[in-house]
Amino acid sequence: MRRDATTTDSPNAGYPMSTTAGALEIELEKTGQYNLGAGQSPAQANDIAQARYLMALVIGLAVASLIFIKKRDEG
């Protein structure tokens, strides 16, 4: 993520995309634009299931964190 996050045109897209590429150990490339995770395996169709699982996990952690914060603040 640290190496590739700023290589996209969008200042916001590079961070989640490069983090995902690193977590899945894949290379994401848009020819002539960016290459995230260079040197890793090229992305394959079966990586979509892993990316969906990762997304569900992150969403679950975010929701759990919000619930925890709300309950903590309620006292």
State the pLDDT at residue 64.
97
**34 or 11, which is more confident:** 34
The H or E element that residue 15 is part of is: helix 14-24
22, with CB counted inside 10 A (0-12, 13-18, 19+), is middle
**Residue 1 — very low, low, confident or very high, per pLDDT cuts 50/70/90?**
confident
Backbone φ and ψ of 68, nearest 5°: -60, -45
Cα–Cα distances (Å) from 45 to 12, 28, 36, 64, 74, in that order, read 25, 12, 17, 30, 45
Give the pLDDT confidence of 12-62 residue by residue, as tens digits: 889 999 999 999 999 999 998 899 999 999 999 999 999 999 999 999 999
> Whole-model pTM?
0.76
State the pLDDT at residue 48.
95
